[in-house]
């Protein structure tokens, strides 16, 4: 199994989208990319930690490729808005791909360039591509939130 980590705005919606992908074994939501150890949801929400809300995806590369996961990522949010997705504002909602190895970085950079060159977006893509760092799991109430609340994405 391999890991992929994406920040695409609210982690609840991102997780719900990735959970539908064949080959995704499990998902969790949490925080990555900040400077504050063991942040809580309220810490991240207060914009003092530097973390992004992320979904971490465990997947079977025999069933789904990293490139296919990137396609999901590009389709579930607007990668041209800096620190904002819909009504959610703040650096915790930034568009970011946290790469776990050199192959993921190469694939992510190629995918980003391909998206930018397409006619799909009329503004520049602001998505960051950075090495994965410490992952802090959000509390149980945030895991599979939309499923628990009966909301579809």
DSSP for 42-56? HHHHTT-S--EEEEE
DSSP 91: G
**Rounded distance between C-alpha atoms, residue 80 and residue 24, angstroms:** 26
Dihedral angle at the C-alpha atoms of 119, 89, 20, 28, nearest 10 degrees?
A: 130
**Gap between the Cα atoms of 18 and 109, Å rounded:** 20
**Residue among 5, 6, 8, 10 flagged as catalytic:** 10
10 catalytic per annotation: yes
Residue 121 CB contacts under 8 Å (≥ 6 apart), including other chains: 79, 80, 115
Catalytic residue list: 10
């Amino acid at each position: 199994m391999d890991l992929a980590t994406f920040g695409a705005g609210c982690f609840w919606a991102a997780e719900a989208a990735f959970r539908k992908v064949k080959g995704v074994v499990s998902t969790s939501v949490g925080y990555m990319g900040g400077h504050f150890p063991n942040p809580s949801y309220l810490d991240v929400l207060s914009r003092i930690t530097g973390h992004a809300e992320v979904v971490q995806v465990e997947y079977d590369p025999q069933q789904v490729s990293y490139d296919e996961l990137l396609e999901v990522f590009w389709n579930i949010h607007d990668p041209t808005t800096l620190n904002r997705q819909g009504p959610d504002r703040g650096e915790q909602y930034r568009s970011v791909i946290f790469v776990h190895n050199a192959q993921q970085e190469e694939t992510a950079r190629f995918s980003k360039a391909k998206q930018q060159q397409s006619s799909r977006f009329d503004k520049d893509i602001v998505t960051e591509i950075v090495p994965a760092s410490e992952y802090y799991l959000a509390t149980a109430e945030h895991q599979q939130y939309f499923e628990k609340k009966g909301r579809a994405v």
